[in-house]
Amino acid sequence: MNTTVVPSSVQSDKLGTIPVIDISGYFTGEDGRKRSIAANIDAACRSTGFLVISGHNVPQELLERMDRLARIFFAKPLEEKRRYKTRDPAIYRGFYEIGSNAVAYSLDDHEAAPDYCERFSINKVQFDSSDPYYACEKGQKIFAPNIWPEGIDGFKEAWTEYYRVMEQLAQTLMRLFALGLNLDEYWFDDKIDKHMTNLTANWYPDQHTPVKPGQLRAGAHTDYGSLTILKTENKPGGLEVQTRNGHWAPVPIIPGTLIVNIGDLMAQWTNDRWVSTMHRVANPPRDMTTGTERLSLVFFHQPNYDALVECLPSCRDGGGAKYAPVTSGDHLMTKLMKMQQV
């Protein structure tokens, strides 16, 4: 169990309070403790859509191993990393070099410069390929084989283990989400049991030379799916959230915790009771050209491709639904194709 002591909330300039929520009580099975945690999550998702979690049970040794192995990969020469690029833009796998993605494009902001970021991404690591859900034409496309780099001992094993741990944590969070939304605890289970989640390492290298006008480490965007689980580090040039008055405020990095935010699909499910908040990754100060390398591990949780996302019964508040129903798969494919049109 994670025993790191953290404050109950952290103040971020011009943003307000981003709560630090200890979710360890969920694992005791006590209904009262689960509902108390869920109520705190509901409050956070209504206000900023961001929270920081402790008591998540993710082994520190695994986090450190993932960090070390990802850095080994990104330290390799660019030409070697290019060997692990996907040939199909509809299949988000493998290596993406600086300038090949622009997350701001997912919101049709084509004035934005491509992201100053390298990425490496995998999808589902274990499933029954004979199951028609995976074996059909659409399933084979979505769950295409992962691309694994060669020559890094333990890389595939660590990523596979981390992916499975994140799956379990995401399921726990979705169950807490259900309780926070006055649903049965397991309401989301059959919508995420065959999820299509990407695990991505984002590498933000030092910026030794000036970037292009308007170029950021990651442009302003909202995430696409149900929730995102982020492990990052406290270095200059980091994650910022846009406040309601348009300011950008840093998200605090606290040892022993993970950052969680909801995505567009959860906002649509809740009829905007919960907010999918615009965020970006800022550049380091221009006078800091070394020592700002930053690695983030990001689990972009995405429900089953055929999960229909429509206004939850508990979120209608006597009015109609703001969004037309959409499947998780159709929504994700639209966003991924947009962000790669650079």
Q: Is residue 4 part of a domain?
A: no
CATH of the domain at 40: 2.60.120.330
Is position 2 within any domain? Answer: no
Query: Residue 341: what pLDDT?
Result: 56
Structural domain range at position 18: 9-339
- 1 lies in some domain: no
- Determine the pLDDT at residue 102: 85
154 lies in some domain: yes
Q: What is the pLDDT of residue 319?
A: 75
Cα–Cα distance for residue pair 339/211, rounded to 1 Å: 19
**51 Cβ contact list (under 8 Å, min separation 6):** 18, 19, 20, 21, 40, 41, 44, 45, 259, 260, 261
Query: What CA–CA distance (Å, rounded) separates 27 from 57?
Result: 9
Per-residue model confidence (pLDDT) at position 74: 98
What pTM was estimated for this model as a whole? Answer: 0.93
Residue 236, domain member (yes or no): yes
Each residue's pLDDT, cut to its tens digit, for the chain (342 residues) gives 343 334 444 444 334 578 999 999 999 999 999 999 999 999 999 999 999 999 999 999 999 999 999 999 999 999 999 999 998 888 899 999 999 988 888 877 777 889 999 999 999 999 999 999 999 999 999 999 999 999 999 999 999 999 999 999 999 999 999 999 999 999 999 999 999 999 999 999 999 999 999 999 999 999 999 999 999 999 999 999 998 888 899 998 999 999 999 999 999 999 999 999 999 999 999 999 899 999 999 999 999 999 999 999 889 877 789 999 999 999 988 877 776 655
Residue 139 inside a domain? The answer is: yes
Residue 3 within a domain: no
Which pair of structure tokens corresponds to residue 160?
A: 């596979």
The answer to whether residue 255 sits within a structural domain is yes
Domain count, the chain: 1
